[in-house]
Amino acid sequence: MFAGEATPEERAQFTAAQAARMQAILDAPLDRLFDVRAVAPRIPAKARILASLTCEACGEAVMETRTRRFAGRTLCIPCFEAAEKRW
């Protein structure tokens, strides 16, 4: 079928079998399809709020952890990568 070499009869048989499988799934009771149970969620810790710094190349404010120091300047990552390539 997937190689494109199926006869018309084989295609019809495949289509019928596929339709039967789909209908069996649609008709199945939910407890056979899904495992529903209570879970204990793990709530992540609150995000740390860090200072915003200004990129000395483009002037955009950027979170401190998303900056890089290069040649004595504080740069956002895109400006850092561009400066690094020119270096």
Q: Tens of pLDDT along 52-83?
A: 999 999 999 999 999 999 999 999 999 999 99
> How far apart (Å, rounded) are the C-alpha atoms in residues 61 and 52?
6
Higher pLDDT, 26 or 5: 26
Contact between residue 62 and residue 55 where contact means Cβ atoms under 8 Å apart: yes
Domain boundaries, the chain: 1-37, 52-86
Is the domain defined by 52-86 classed in CATH 1.10.1670? no
pTM for the whole structure: 0.48
Average pLDDT over residues 26-32: 93
